[in-house]
Amino acid sequence: MSGVIHIVDDEEAIRESLAFLLASRGLAARGWPSGEAFLAAQPLEDCACVILDVRMGGLSGPEVFERLRAMGNAVPVIFLTGHADVPVAVRTLKAGAFDFVEKPFNDNQIVDLALRAMAAHDVARAEAAARADLDARRATLSAREDEVMRAMLTGALNKQIADQLGIAMRTVEVHRGRVLAKMGVRNAIELAALLAGEGS
């Protein structure tokens, strides 16, 4: 796993102790004294996880979280609080926060959480990249090729596709070959597997 864990907390002692703790497990960390400072630095390409204090001077943790999401930043966020604030915890978790930890926290717990958050972020980024790649491939298909592809996914034979679309079977064969080449697959089975869940 790569990337930096960003610690946003207005208590310097918390920032420093967390950074030291994370470094002891081989994780890179960077501290920010306020939500405003952290948001001003966006977008941070190296950001793999955010540990965010709930109550700070200026913007609160939940406000920072909302602004991050409004920017389209889906980085996992772990909230820290020194207060047993159940309503805030419920709200932030429903809004997509990764987890919520009360101070004082267990050292191993917070590092393990950060590792899980980073792993989840890596998976989400890989899935997003795969979706973008698939969308880019589909965008190269002509309207007719897309029609042929949709028919292929129903299991229709070339003759059936030709009859359905009112074109020559040879034309279907040409389009079929182009669809497979552009989508980077060898046959209709691989194509169906590639597009499974995409709602072709």
Fold (topology level) of 140-195: Arc Repressor Mutant, subunit A (1.10.10)
Q: Does the pTM of the predicted model rise above 0.75?
A: no
Domain boundaries, the chain: 4-129, 140-195
Backbone φ, ψ for residue 191 (5° rounding): -60, -45
Give pLDDT tens digits along the chain (200 positions): 578 999 999 999 999 999 999 999 899 999 999 999 999 998 888 888 999 999 888 999 999 999 999 998 889 999 988 766 777 777 888 888 899 888 888 888 899 999 999 888 888 878 888 888 999 999 999 999 999 999 999 999 999 999 999 999 999 999 999 999 999 999 999 999 988 866 54
DSSP codes joined into one string, 79-105: EEESS--HHHHHHHHHTT-SEEEESS-
Give the right CATH number for 4-129 from 3.40.50.2300, 3.30.56.10, 1.10.10.10, 3.40.50.300: 3.40.50.2300
